[in-house]
Chain A
């Protein structure tokens, strides 16, 4: 179960390849902005819970108010982002990652 000692120069070669740079770009270009977006969306919710209570208390339908809908939207956005990420990863990330992994494993064996 111990990890084999690899020749590190292989990794530097792969890291410099345009294919790997494309993989890294596709990963970061999706996850970094999305992280900023969902954290901002969540913080907006927390800040409004602290400072916009009259607005949060406004009734929409019966006893269902803005606060409840806003909270439920956090659930919807979380489920949606999780689903969208898995689609993005399967379509745009996994194929390159799998290909590079096979290539490196062939080189290092």
Chain B
């Protein structure tokens, strides 16, 4: 049997299982709290796994393993930023948000400020961040499935994107947060099991001697002297000072962006109390940390056992490093049948990974559209729960459809930068608004609106005028050059700008509500009046 066929069968099993869960979840979804927050009834461990499921995207699984396999150490740099970022979420955001919010990021801001302008700003930012991230995943799905299943025609890739899009719409529209969370949990378990299995085999191959693995990886990489130190991909010596500052800029966006990502923030609402939110982030940190340690072995293992040249020949970005490694290690332990089975397994895990992440993003953006923009801005709060949930489902459908169309249109573009841009916007706009709102007494409506739009617009504009969009060989637009900003990551400028805009906006407005600040401060720290889990 060919691995493509086996991969497809395994993937269809995953789809059947998750669709079953989705239908089951839909029967339990009655209220708005059920749809948006899974009834707040998940345990800390379950939500911790779901956090891992939402966060460990195909970009971090196949992407980081690929970067390590081709550029060595630099891939590790990326994963460290992704991990340390969770401390910001744990120490400053998770519990306080759980205590003071309800369904979306905007709930925390709207608490003590004029609700319509801040909900509009937060809703726009949520949808922009989620769509960027979503688009990157959709285009990635087309390319990836092509590589794994040997589908090379444009029509084949288009149907793949449509298939992924339709499934994600079904998960979100039918299953709501409860269904989506279970999809994340199943995916996280599969991904961790698959990655751990391959890692054990790779380490076993080298007699559990890490130094021997690294030595072989460097030897097979074609760049033995530089492979184990930073600088082959980010901030190379050839790029000079700008390249190194770009590296810092990327690092800042990674470490500060996570706690401002809408699909991560709404995870904190799915548990009964702030203590469970803390527990879920602790579990999330454990799972995500171990996962990145596994990808380190996978990446170096792929370089050592497959060889960088062969990996680059299969895909210049290295996205097939992990599948190729699975095949090679399977063959060396269990013969060609073993290679086929492990390749199929990792292929199926990769599909599950993409599908779960896009579902989480669709849920976050449609929830914000319905709860923030429709119910509170357009209807000024005069909606029934039923109507709000219906609108959330319709908007999930529409956002999913838009993502499919954009994904097909952008199919041939290199949109990997959109992930880094989503992190930069989240760090520059959302994070300042959330932190000021929770910790700064004087903060007000003008400040929140300035922080969000200031961070959002500055991050977007800097990218538009960077080499990412024009003026370089790798640019989106190759024939024109209107770039003047030298960095491809805007964070180092846009993050301080977002914080500064929030501060200036606040100072320029006299508005200040002492009573409301007292309320949010007491509620966020003690949990008084926090939304309770629904009873079934």
Task: Say whether B32 contacts A24, CB under 8 Å.
Answer: no
Kindly state the separation between the CA atoms of A24 and B525 in the bound complex, as whole angstroms: 7
Given A38-B87, A82-B282, A101-B528; A1-B230 close (CB under 8 Å): no
Task: Say whether B248 contacts A47, CB under 8 Å.
Answer: yes
Within 8 A of B (CB), among A52-93: 53, 56-57, 61-65, 67-68, 71, 74-75, 78-79, 81-83, 85-86, 89
Given A8-B515, A39-B255, A63-B211; A46-B77 close (CB under 8 Å): yes
CB-based nearest B residue for A27: B525
Residues of B within 8 A of A71 (CB): 73, 76-77, 80
Kindly state the separation between the CA atoms of A50 and B234 in the bound complex, as whole angstroms: 8
Task: Say whether A82 contacts B215, CB under 8 Å.
Answer: no
Given A1-B531, A71-B77; A49-B84 close (CB under 8 Å): no
Kindly state the separation between the CA atoms of A82 and B278 in the bound complex, as whole angstroms: 10
Task: Say whether A65 contacts B84, CB under 8 Å.
Answer: no
Task: Say whether A68 contacts B91, CB under 8 Å.
Answer: no
Q: Is there a chain A Cβ closer than 8 Å to B88's Cβ? A: yes
Task: Say whether A11 contacts B531, CB under 8 Å.
Answer: no
Task: Say whether B91 contacts A34, CB under 8 Å.
Answer: yes
Within 8 A of A (CB), among B26-67: 31-33
Kindly state the separation between the CA atoms of A38 and B80 in the bound complex, as whole angstroms: 12
Chain B contributes a number of interface residues (CB within 8 A of A) equal to 63
Taken residue by residue from 260 to 299, chain B's Cβ proximity to chain A (1 for < 8 Å, 0 otherwise) reads as 0000000000000001001101100110010011000000
Kindly state the separation between the CA atoms of A83 and B80 in the bound complex, as whole angstroms: 18
Task: Say whether A78 contacts B244, CB under 8 Å.
Answer: no
Kindly state the separation between the CA atoms of A31 and B234 in the bound complex, as whole angstroms: 31
Taken residue by residue from 91 to 109, chain A's Cβ proximity to chain B (1 for < 8 Å, 0 otherwise) reads as 0001001101100110010
Residues of A within 8 A of B471 (CB): none
Task: Say whether B229 contacts A53, CB under 8 Å.
Answer: yes
Distance to closest chain A CB from B177 (angstroms): 14
Given A39-B255, A97-B525; A46-B247 close (CB under 8 Å): yes
Distance to closest chain B CB from A1 (angstroms): 5
Within 8 A of A (CB), among B240-269: 244, 247-248, 251-252, 255
Task: Say whether B244 contacts A51, CB under 8 Å.
Answer: yes
Residues of A within 8 A of B285 (CB): 78-79, 82
Given A74-B84, A79-B286, A101-B528; A50-B244 close (CB under 8 Å): yes
Distance to closest chain B CB from A82 (angstroms): 5
CB-based nearest A residue for B219: A63
Residues of B within 8 A of A67 (CB): 73, 228-230
CB-based nearest A residue for B248: A46
Task: Say whether A65 contacts B519, CB under 8 Å.
Answer: no
**Can you add 5 more A-B contacts, CB < 8 Å, to A53-B230, A53-B231, A63-B211?**
A1-B31, A28-B439, A49-B231, A63-B214, A74-B80
Q: Could you pull out 22 A-B pairs where Cβ atoms are within 8 angstroms?
A: A1-B33, A11-B519, A11-B523, A23-B526, A35-B88, A35-B92, A43-B251, A43-B252, A46-B251, A50-B235, A53-B229, A62-B212, A63-B218, A63-B228, A67-B73, A78-B86, A81-B91, A82-B281, A83-B282, A100-B528, A105-B529, A108-B528
The 7 lowest CB-CB distance pairs between A and B, nearest first, are: A62-B211, A49-B230, A50-B244, A57-B229, A63-B214, A46-B251, A8-B515
